[in-house]
Amino acid sequence: MTNLVIPAPQVPTIPTSDGGAFPVRRVYCIGRNYAAHAIEMGHDPDREPPFFFQKNPNNMDASGEFPYPPHTSDVHHEVELVVALKSGGTNIPLDKALDHVWGYAVSLDMTRRDLQGEAKKMGRPWEIGKAFEQSGPVGPLLPVSKVGHPDHGRIELKVNGEVRQEGDLNQMIWKVPEMISYLSEYFELAPGDIIMSGTPSGVNAVVKGDLMEATIEGLGGLTVKVV
């Protein structure tokens, strides 16, 4: 590129299990994708159309540390499966959706729940609660060639050794192919897009010094210290 008037920002990346780096273009996050979590947030778990919000690509962070963010006193953990796309398009049919997946990872959708709650009440967007610095701790991406397409298996989050969240990937209301196909009807998906696929019940607050250990069966773990 020529004539950039400021230095180009670096492309955010997620490390891969084989020592590579996956460049991130967009981060789509689904809301209320496990019935038990929808209920704990005060909503009907029936299968209504899915809804999505976005984090910023450079919110994804593999440092293993989560700096307690400003202007909140209620930061929640949400353990989630990340789906990383190697290709995209529009109107992707369900039976072709998984062909676009490069791999999977364990992640945390860290949430300023107090600010998100205010935004909901006032009918405002969620970014202030969801899309802040280092709000997307993420583990190494594992390629489909190694782990296939996990559609069941335990998903869990411990804080300081105590289980806070647990569920099974098979409890997702909207499955991975459905999320890809649905998103592609509204957006043009492309290589580098990732989807955070929702959290099981048990979301709760962390404080400085807490150690979060997220695991998904078959995908290993992610350990993040709140600093």
Are the beta carbons of 52 and 187 closer than 8 angstroms? no
| 193 near Mn ion (CB under 5 A) | no
Instruction: By CB under 5 A, name the one of 61, 109, 193, 213 that touches Mn ion.
Output: 109
Q: Pick the closer one to Mn ion by CB: 181 or 199.
A: 199
Q: Which is nearer to Mn ion, 143 or 193 (CB)?
A: 193
Helix (H) or strand (E) holding 53: strand 52-55
- Within 115-174, the residues that bind Mn ion by CB under 5 A are none
> Among candidates 42, 201, 195, which has minimal Cα distance to 120?
42
- Rounded distance between C-alpha atoms, residue 83 and residue 101, angstroms: 7
Q: Which is nearer to Mn ion, 17 or 54 (CB)?
A: 54
Q: At closest approach, how far in Å is the CB of 99 from Mn ion?
A: 25
Query: How far is C-alpha 226 from the chain's CA centre?
Result: 18
From 16-24, 107-115, 173-181, 218-226, span contacting Mn ion (CB under 5 A):
107-115
Place of tokens 């999977």: 104
Which residue number, 31 or 191, has a Cβ lying nearer to Mn ion?
A: 31
d(CA 78, CA 149): 21
* Inter-CA distances, 203 with 19, 42, 163, 207, 209, Å: 31, 13, 11, 13, 18
| 78 lies in the binding site for Mn ion (CB under 5 A) | yes
Nearer to Mn ion, 109 or 213 (CB): 109
Q: How far is the CB of 224 from Mn ion (least distance, A)?
A: 15
Q: Is 55 in the site for Mn ion (CB under 5 A)?
A: no
CB of 4 to Mn ion, least distance (A): 35
Position 42: which residue type? G
Give me the residues that bind Mn ion (CB under 5 A), please: 78, 109, 199
